[in-house]
Chains A and B, each alone.
Chain A
């Protein structure tokens, strides 16, 4: 193993990348800012914004005619978000700097209350994100239960048609918002510095800001329901968007808020990976998961501004009556559709790529083989990311676009299956003739490959113009993207959670409950979504609450599967609560025997991650070696992983920080 670096440990030890030293806060406890003050700020901001909006615009003709003051609602939501951020303390530091005062000292906090505050520790933010995305996911899941309840019967209705489309729209929007951040939020923020040997993220304040914007987006999109919902689905098409009632404002503001958080998160992760890699962490040693995070960060940073801009235009049309999306006044509703999908299709890969990054990271651990064709995998991720900007018009094949454009976008769409195939084959190559350890994370990884096969191949069908003309807008498309996002991304997410929870929490999740969760989720996922391919081919349209009687059997199968799928997540929640809080079982230092750098750190991971900046010695995939050495020198000498010396750093006595578990094994 060649070190291949010019700096010595002493050169890089505590210099250069040094985070600020811990300080003691002088702020009394009653003045501290936390989730409660954020909620108060949000409510106060909402009320203020609504009031000022009424002062400005209540007398205008539109509010006078239809009784709906969109200016007041948009300002209420915007000021609500500002109040939320002010309440949590996001503005304290920048405002102090602006007015020339020394910002109040910010101590690295310990204890459970830090998880409810504006915390700058990437590990705390990662855990906050994990709870946040689960909240998003379960809320969106409840909407899905409502959808499947309505579709139990073709003609006897549980909801009205307007309510049904509002629920579908809310479900789609929440799930898409969640899915953009489900990996990069919790695991990206928590693991990026640990994967690349950094002591912190590049911009801790930006990182914390991105999380609290993410949660603000959750609240904003929920306000759509009491405001009457919106009828557009998650795509928000104009002109339906422009003529919709007040719930549409929540959609537009919500996506701007979430999008701003996504841009911040993506920018921060990208800068961290590019600039904060430890000495010796050359590009061909960067873990494949970090490559996936870099690819997705690039997409987040480049694509999301389009969405925010498009939503801003929509807000202008709805509030001050511009005509950007109004055809008869010189605008174009096609502009929305193009701007939206120019973001929206990269968005699909924002969701897919990190899932593949996780499974590619985990496969070598559970097969004890080097990652097959590592460089091809990394190149495939960037190939997908690049091509994802050239395919968006396949969403508009049926919308009346110039027919001459359709073959071009059919071609680019089908081209993207090549780098996707690279990524897929990297996984299969690693699995080939390996001795697989069927631990719970590995089960989820294997399920991803099974599910994505259906999702990917059905995607080739709908990328084909003649097939898409028939299948567009049907449940076939719905089944396709649920197989890729739910069957791919969410299975990868749970693989990552089961894999890294021992590092994040220091506790092991119960294996038996994990296996039950997996099998329930896998079986019921397929029971829910596979029948939808049939009903889609038979012509059942999306977003319509009534359907033909002959499709009821498959719809009922799907609904029963959905209820059981929903119940399977209760097993995960039970496992999580049981294993972390009720009957915690201390995790070994390296329960999976991983070579990953993150497993060389103590558990819980200290505030600065590494006492000294590590020197990276190799990539983390040399599982084919007998008694491989750790991938990095942390300053304590090198001892083979098999000897149980991972995490050889003893941290100074910070409160709440433990040293290495000396009794830990590498599993």
Chain B
């Protein structure tokens, strides 16, 4: 075989092998939860309704034991995703169904409501500015967007009957209903995160779902 032929074969095989490895690795690494698009079809001036739920253990997928957020897509399906497209400069009406238990907070600061419209939220219909985590069932999670100055504590559910497989339905499981509103800023990606260490069986509760997009943290992807 000629030198050119040898060279062609060697480089073709090399390029093929490297290409396959890189493609496989990149495909794997770019795997992330789907982005739920709540901006599509949005009418200017109208608020967007964002409905999410928290569940003590998602019950399926790669990490079935992990605590997680889910979001209701425009088609009514519950989706395990923390990446949400929202329209810019728009009022977002948020409803969170909190199905998880709670505990006293290490940091009482995140027991306060701030950054929402009016600086308040409603907990089962009652307006609140603070959840006292040392009373009742404590706080299970928070919905916090540091760059927008938003923090909303989600009071824990009392009792032993806790939903442990998503999606949880309001008429079947005890829950707390938390409502609040905020207004999106300009286009950009804004990190949101639960600030209550809730990664069960991880040191200080900060591992696992607390570090993983799709469970206890995600992005508000604000678009035009």
Q: Which residues of A contact B (CB under 8 A)?
A: 61-62, 64-68, 142, 146, 155-163, 166-167, 225-226, 228, 231, 239, 242-245, 326, 573-574, 577-578, 581-583
Given A66-B65, A67-B66, A155-B188, A225 and B203 contact (CB-CB distance below 8 Å): no
Q: How far is the CA of A65 from the CA of B200 in the complex (A)?
A: 6
Return the chain B residue nearest A329 by Cβ. Answer: B203
A578: nearest chain-B partner, CB-CB: B7
Contact A245 B3 (CB under 8 A): no
Partner of B207, one of A156, A157, A245, A573: A245
When distances are taken between beta carbons in the complex, the residues of chain B under 8 Å from A163 are 29-30, 32
In the complex, chain A residues whose CB is within 8 Å of the CB of B202: 66, 243
Query: In the complex, are the beta carbons of B6 and A159 less than 8 A apart?
Result: no
CB of B211 closer than 8 Å to a CB of A: yes
B29 touches A142 (CB 8 A): no
| A581 neighbours in B (Cβ, 8 Å) | 6, 10
Q: Mark B187-207, 1 if CB is under 8 A from A, else 0.
A: 011010000000111111011
* A-B contacts, 24 listed (Cβ < 8 Å): A62-B201, A66-B199, A66-B208, A67-B63, A142-B22, A142-B25, A146-B29, A156-B189, A159-B29, A160-B213, A163-B29, A166-B29, A228-B212, A243-B199, A244-B207, A244-B211, A245-B207, A245-B208, A245-B212, A326-B203, A573-B14, A574-B11, A581-B6, A582-B10
Instruction: Output the least CB separation between A44 and chain B (Å).
Output: 23
Complex CA–CA separation, A62 to B201 (angstroms): 6
- CB distance A68 to B208 under 8 Å? yes
Q: Which of A155, A326, A577 contacts B10 (CB 8 A)?
A: A577
Q: Which residues of B contact A62 (CB under 8 A)?
A: 201
Set of chain B residues within 8 Å of A242, measured between Cβ atoms: 203
Residues on B with beta carbons closer than 8 Å to the beta carbon of A61: 201
CB distance from B35 to the nearest CB of A (A): 11
A-facing mask of B104-129, CB < 8 A → 1, else 0? 00000000000000000000000000
B26 within 8 A of A: yes
- Give chain B residues whose Cβ lies under 8 Å from the Cβ of A155: 188-189
How far is A66 from B6 in the complex, measured between Cα atoms in Å?
53
Tell which of B10, B30, B199, B203 has the most Cβ of chain A within 10 Å.
B203
Known: A225-B29, A574-B11. 10 other contacts (CB 8 A): A66-B202, A67-B64, A68-B208, A155-B189, A158-B30, A228-B212, A245-B207, A581-B6, A581-B10, A582-B10
How far apart are the CA atoms of A228 and B213 in the complex, in Å?
12
Report whether A66 and B10 are in contact in the complex, using a CB–CB cutoff of 8 Å: no
Most chain B CB within a 10 A radius of its CB, from A160, A242, A326: A160
Mark each residue of chain B from 4 to 23: 1 if its CB lies under 8 Å from any CB of chain A, else 0. 00110011001000000110
Residues of chain A within 8 A (CB-CB) of B6 are 581-582
Question: Which of chain B's residues 167-224 have a Cβ closer than 8 Å to chain A?
Answer: 188-189, 191, 199-204, 206-208, 211-213
- The chain B residue sitting closest to A61, CB to CB, is B201
B binding-site residues for A, Cβ under 8 Å: 3, 6-7, 10-11, 14, 21-22, 25-26, 28-30, 32, 63-66, 188-189, 191, 199-204, 206-208, 211-213
- Contact pick for A66, options B26, B32, B188, B201, CB 8 Å: B201
Partner pick for A226 among B11, B28, B189, CB 8 A cutoff? B28
Neighbouring B residues of A582 by C-beta, 8 Å: 3, 6-7, 10
Q: Give the shortest distance, in Å, between A143 (CB) and chain B (any CB).
A: 9
Known: A573-B14, A582-B7, A582-B10. A245 touches B32 (CB 8 A): no
User: A158 to chain B: which residues have CB within 8 Å?
Assistant: 30
| A166 to chain B: closest residue by CB | B29
Query: A574 vs B204: C-alpha distance in the bound complex, in angstroms?
Result: 51
Within the assembled complex, what's the spacing in Å between the Cα atoms of A275 and B83?
A: 63
Residues of B within 8 A of A162 (CB): 211-213
> Are B206 and A243 touching (Cβ within 8 A)?
yes
- Give the distance to chain B from A186, nearest Cβ to Cβ, in Å: 20
Whether B204 lies near A239 (C-beta < 8 A) is yes
Distance A160 CA – B191 CA, assembled complex (angstroms): 11
Residues of A within 8 A of B204 (CB): 239, 243
Which residues of the other chain, A, contact B64 by a CB distance below 8 angstroms? Answer: 67
Nearest residue (CB) in A for B200 is A65
| Bound CA span A279–B201, Å | 63
Q: A142-B22, A239-B204, A243-B199 are in contact. Are A159 and B211 (CB under 8 A)?
A: no
Q: Is A146 a contact partner of B26 (Cβ separation < 8 A)?
A: yes
In whole angstroms, what is the CA distance A157 to B191 when docked?
A: 12
Q: Which residue of A lies closest to B8 (CB)?
A: A582
Known: A68-B208, A578-B7, A582-B6. A161 touches B213 (CB 8 A): yes
A166: chain B residues at CB < 8 Å are 29
Are the CB atoms of A225 and B28 closer together than 8 Å? Answer: yes
Complex Cα gap A127–B222 (Å): 54
Q: Which residues of B contact A228 (CB under 8 A)?
A: 212
Residue of A with least CB distance to B67: A66
- Nearest CB on A from B209, distance (A): 9
Question: Are the C-beta atoms of A231 and B63 separated by less than 8 Å?
Answer: no
**Do A243 and B65 touch across chains, with their CB atoms under 8 A apart?**
no
Q: Which A residues touch B200, using CB under 8 A?
A: 65-66
Give complex CA distance A64, B30 in Å: 29
Residues of A within 8 A of B11 (CB): 574, 577
In the bound complex, CA of A260 to CA of B7 (Å): 39
With the chains together, A476 CA to B132 CA distance in Å? 44
- Complex-state Cα separation, A65 to B199, whole angstroms: 9
CB distance from B89 to the nearest CB of A (A): 18
Closest B residue to A577 by beta carbon equals: B10
Chain B neighbourhood of A577, CB < 8 A:
7, 10-11, 14
User: CA A517 – CA B148 in complex, angstroms?
Assistant: 49
CB contact under 8 A between A245 and B211, given known A67-B64, A583-B3? yes
